[in-house]
Structure 1
């Protein structure tokens, strides 16, 4: 069989070189664009985690390595771009799971929807609550983020803000006084929020007990923490808030969902106890939120109204983004 003529070989080699140079030029253009492109850091700083991750994926698919990207595109406060991938996947999973009730047992379904789930042989017990609130979404965000004000509307709770490295991330301590003969309980939580208004018309707050607690956080705990039973909240727990159309009275409304995964180190808890817990705890928690909203936003001089006015970078941003949808 005849091979290609020498002239054809030269043409093929030149074509191959042109293809190689085209790819190299494209790669260099992407690196230059990446250095000037602040889309990923801006999206991350604004809480738009899924948008930031899509930008990261577009560069990765173009052949740019994490090592090349990390020096030019890493947002402030993010240790590694791989952390962005993990966080985006966790947020998307949280959104999907909190809205999917398949496999969950419904404990009540009236003004407050409460569900429970436990897989046989597992130590993990999961709870889900949802309700509608006649308040704007940013008010519920403020209640969660400004947890150090919780004592203003409930005397059995105490809160400490341990760290807030960015607008959408923080570490918190929550103490809970319980009736005798039970020991008081407390929670150490790390939380990070995400603006999913473009993708899902909502905002999501992921939270859980960190695997390790920095020593400077421990130094900020109240003395009462030494006598409390520490409750572990597992990764994947989340709050989802979605703005609804105003009610007949014109007041803004928000649909709220909360999903909590706990590990009390008990593989089996009698269903009667679970039903009692949901019967007592879910209306209490719902009433706590409603009472807090009424108390802390009654006037512009109320405690959380003032705190929101002091943080326009966060709350004005949330208000603007959610008003678009």
Structure 2
């Protein structure tokens, strides 16, 4: 896979100082770009550096363990997104709101995707957590596969993303872990990044009952989701409740050093809004049109979603 990047929000690509404080913001040179620092120097000096969540690897654990320590981690990520957002360019203003930044001189591209959905948190959560069914509604997802799991808290995922010609689909091996930050931040919090940041290799999922997905139809090239990528899901209390707000902060290396503007615009102005509209339609279909759908049954039957609803009631959501 070559060089592996880590993303440190507020300071671009980099490491945390010894005292744990975030690095100072880089000076901007134009809207949506960071300055002219040499990308190769960053590769050599700053890889594998974003470790704000060390010590919070509680595995699946109990629900109390899921909450323990998560508030500080969620707060760090969220404060950095708030600070970082001023350096992004808004690419799509209506629902969903899509903002973009490219770190100049590197292959790092950052996207903020902010959307509100007219369904409660547990139902929205299931649309992503029941990952093997992602391609039933997301038109760009290829072979979504759960490679491994640790209870109801951690997943190892494979999927590829379709891109228009002449680009090959980009495949990803992602470690996903979520935490309950309802008491402190009013949300559920998710970290997501390449499995290599967990000292795992894609080849380690090549056999046994968790077979590595085939690359049978088209050639696929690896992309990288950098550590520091995250997501939040909030219950929306205004307007009678029953709604959710979802915010994704993704720092990615698509392994295209200088993608053409048309491809960037395709991802920001066509792909993201299309996925949002497809998700809206899917939510209506699986919870309203067919209340006995697989998604609806899992939300009603799984302990994970039952406990989520209990926690939301406890905080008055």
**TM-score w.r.t. structure 2 length?**
0.69
Instruction: Give the paired residue count.
Output: 249
Question: In the alignment, what sits opposite 1:77?
Answer: none
Q: Once the two structures are superposed, what CA deviation does each residue of 1:68-124 show, in whole Å capped at 9, x if it has no partner?
A: xxxxxxxxxxxxxxxxxxx87654332223344221111122222110112322321
- Rounded Cα–Cα distance in structure 2 between residues aligned with 1:286 and 1:152: 14
CA–CA distance in structure 1, aligned partners of residues 59 and 257 of structure 2: 44
5+ residue gaps in structure 1?
1-39, 54-86
Cross-structure match for 1:52: 68
Q: 2:106 corresponds to which residue?
A: 122
Q: Are the counterparts in 2 of residues 193 and 203 from structure 1 also a CA contact under 8 Å?
A: yes
Mean Cα deviation higher: 207-216 or 255-264: 207-216
Q: Which residue of 2 aligns with 1:235?
A: 227
CA distance in 2, matches of 1:179, 1:275: 12
1:145 Cα deviation (Å)?
1.1
Higher Cα Rg, which structure? 1
2:146 to 158, 161, 177: 161
CA RMSD in angstroms comes to 2.8
- The answer to whether the 8 Å contact 1:153/1:295 transfers is no
Q: 1:151 to 1:268 in 2, by over 3 A?
A: closer
5 Å-filtered alignment, 1:283-294, equals 283-294=273-284
Deviation at 1:216, TM superposition (A): 5.2
Q: Distance in 2 between matches of 1:287 and 1:144?
A: 15
Find the residue that maps to 2:224 and give its secondary structure. Answer: coil
> In the alignment, which of 267, 272, 275 is matched to residue 265 of structure 2?
275
Return the TM-score normalized by structure 1: 0.68
Residue 296 (structure 2) pairs with residue 305 (structure 1): yes
Per-residue deviation, 1:199: 0.6
TM-aligned CA deviation for residue 207 of structure 1: 0.5
Q: How far apart, CA to CA, are the structure 1 residues paired with 2:164 and 2:258?
A: 24
Unmatched segments (≥5 aa) in structure 2: 1-56
CA–CA distance in structure 1, aligned partners of residues 187 and 101 of structure 2: 24
Matches within 5 A, 1:199-238: 199-211=184-196, 212-213=200-201, 215=203, 217-219=205-207, 220-224=211-215, 227-238=219-230
